[in-house]
Amino acid sequence: MNLILISAIWGIVMMFSGLFLKDKSSAKTVALIGSIALLIGNIFDLSGKMIINSNFNGMLQYERFGLLFLTILVLALIMYILLSGKEVEAVGNHPFEYFALIFFVMSGAGLVALFNNLLILFIGIEIISIPLYILTGSDKRNLKGNEAALKYFLMGSFSTGIMLMGIAFLYGATGSFQLEQLDSFQMKQLIVTPQDDYKIFMLIGIVMIMVALAFKVSAAPFHFWTPDVYDGAPTVFTSFMATIVKAAVFIGFLNLFTNAFGNKTGNWQMTVAIITALTLFIGNITAVYQQSVKRMLAYSSIAQAGFMMFAVFAINDMAKQGLLLYAAAYCFATIGIFAVLVKMKDYTFDGFNGLAKKQPLVAMVLTICLVSLAGIPLTAGFFAKYFVLAAAVKTGTYLWLVIFAVVMAAVSVYYYFRVIQAMYFKEGEGQEIAITAPFKALLVTVAAVVILLGVYPSLLLNWLTFF
């Protein structure tokens, strides 16, 4: 609860500090203070010391897993502010407001991670979404950005409608918004009763919510907005959207399916399996054909969503650990890559030619992050993929899906390694990018975290039992 409150309050603080602090560069500092406050608040959350210790009639649940997940998101946020915070100032004249929106998103993420009631999920998703529509179009003079924002808003509203309708169907079938009551609702009983309509209502409801959430995490075939929006949005916000926001919605996705529909796996698992396979296929294959690294990363984020879908598919302990690790590995690596990308003028693959000569350290960190995204051992990405795939293998079914996923992982090597090839093996001058010593130190920290989790993932996973 601390996190939800502090982030909401800090959002307002940020807005007001915009009135009083004229120096744009102080926005980053205020945001940093806020994010550290979030971290501290979250640690108190974990140890049960909350500002308001209420679960609001069971509408929230303080599961350790959700709270840990939020910790990872906050750590990723801190890293995001440290690495990219300065670039927010470059977007327009309202850095304080941009950061305020980011804090509101975090508040929504808190709700989504801890919800125990479908209405809270809905509110959480909306609190996440609305600031994003604004952030996408925050560069007012950029037509592409405006178009992206409008597109995102229209599509997003559409998916919101679908979600609301799904919730209505579920309520109609079960008479409750509470997850545990949805879970205890036995469809088998209904089969032998004349009330078969309820079963259909429930299934329609599940599918509709699945579609809406799949849209939010850009899973295929509901991914089509992603490349345009990610490409059109100011790069610094794309980084935020593709990592922290996406991970936040995934935790909601996993929570919902674990706690509300866990007893009914057979019914929706096939649909998730198809969505997963499609997401992996479309994300990876389309990424291969991209000429811009930014667009490649947009498609790569779709592909990565495919892997995270495995956690939703498997819903077991391994899946939970996997998603936790995946979120950390993916967020850190992607934020690291975007932080460098923002500083570059040329986003094409050729723009990276010869970067290793000019900036050996930056090239090395980027390589480690890219290798991690590809899921190669010694990096966090390997164990992230390992856990989600292991979770799927554990279910004992759909092994074809796992084999398909590993083949797609091999395809992903193609586009990730294109950047590495450009940096190390291709001739080029390398772009002039202004990189300060603290920025380098932060990049090295990202790389160190990625490798540390790649060699010893228990560091993170032990948390699950530690607190």
Q: How far apart are CA 269 and CA 309, in angstroms?
A: 11
Q: Is 32 exposed, middle or buried (0-12, 13-18, 19+ CB in 10 A)?
A: middle
Assess 285 for contact with other proteins (CB under 8 A).
Answer: no
Assess 5 for contact with other proteins (CB under 8 A).
Answer: no
Assess 410 for contact with other proteins (CB under 8 A).
Answer: yes
Assess 371 for contact with other proteins (CB under 8 A).
Answer: yes
**Which of the ranges 25-33, 47-55, 175-183, 409-417 carries the binding residues for other proteins, by CB under 8 A?**
409-417
**Identity of the residue, 24 or 357, whose beta carbon is nearer to other proteins in the bound complex:** 357
**Which of the ranges 3-11, 165-173, 175-183, 399-407 carries the binding residues for other proteins, by CB under 8 A?**
399-407
Of 358, 406, 348, 417, nearest to 382 by C-alpha is 406
Assess 448 for contact with other proteins (CB under 8 A).
Answer: no
**Identity of the residue, 112 or 401, whose beta carbon is nearer to other proteins in the bound complex:** 401
Amino acid at 323: L
Q: How far apart are CA 413 and CA 365, in angstroms?
A: 17
By CB under 8 A, name the one of 285, 413, 433, 444 that touches other proteins.
413
Assess 376 for contact with other proteins (CB under 8 A).
Answer: yes
By CB under 8 A, name the one of 33, 50, 168, 393 that touches other proteins.
393
**Which of the ranges 129-137, 178-186, 275-283, 369-377 carries the binding residues for other proteins, by CB under 8 A?**
369-377
Residue 207's alpha-carbon distances to 77, 187, 219, 255, in angstroms, are 32, 15, 14, 16
By CB under 8 A, name the one of 389, 419, 442, 443 that touches other proteins.
389
Scanning the structure block, which residue is given the tokens 């650990």? 321
- The b/e string for 408-441 (b: 16+ C-beta within 10 A; e otherwise) is bbebbbebbebbbebbbeeebebbebeeeeebee
By CB under 8 A, name the one of 377, 429, 432, 441 that touches other proteins.
377
**Which of the ranges 43-51, 303-311, 334-342, 407-415 carries the binding residues for other proteins, by CB under 8 A?**
407-415
Q: What is the smallest separation between the CB atom of 439 and other proteins, expressed in angstroms?
A: 22
**Which of the ranges 77-85, 264-272, 408-416, 431-439 carries the binding residues for other proteins, by CB under 8 A?**
408-416
Assess 184 for contact with other proteins (CB under 8 A).
Answer: no
By CB under 8 A, name the one of 421, 432, 438, 441 that touches other proteins.
421
Q: What is the smallest separation between the CB atom of 301 and other proteins, expressed in angstroms?
A: 21
Of 237, 238, 212, nearest to 227 by C-alpha is 238
Please, which residues have CB within 8 angstroms of residue 55's CB and are 6 or more apart in sequence?
A: 61, 62, 116
Number of neighbours of residue 96 by Cβ within 10 angstroms: 24
Token code pair at residue 375: 């899921």
